[in-house]
Amino acid sequence: MMSSPEELVDRLEELWVRAKCVELGARYCHGVDRADQETFLSIWHSRGEYVIGRRSGRFSGHTELATALDFVRAAYASTHHWTTNQVVTRSGPDSATGVSDSFAICVDHDGRPSLVAATYDDEYRLVDGEWKILRRIVRRWLVTGGIEVAVRHPASQGMGRKADP
* Prediction pTM value: 0.85
Closest CA to 83 of 14, 41, 13, 31: 31
Q: Which contacts qualify for 5-10: CB closer than 8 Å, 24 or more apart?
A: none
CATH, domain range 5-154: 3.10.450.50
pLDDT at residue 148 greater than cutoff 90: no
Average pLDDT over residues 148-161: 62
State in Å, rounded, how far the first CA of the chain is from the last one: 43
Q: Cα(142)–Cα(46) distance, rounded to whole angstroms?
A: 30
Give bridge partners of residue 46 from the DSSP assignment. none
**Residue ranges per structural domain of the chain:** 5-154
Q: How confident is the model at residue 3 (pLDDT cuts 50, 70, 90)?
A: confident
What are φ and ψ of residue 151, in 5° steps?
Answer: -95, 125
User: For residue range 42-93, what is the model confidence (pLDDT) as tens digits?
Assistant: 999 999 999 997 777 899 999 999 999 999 999 999 999 999 999 999 999 9
Angle at 86 (CA atoms; ends 29, 113), nearest 5 degrees: 40
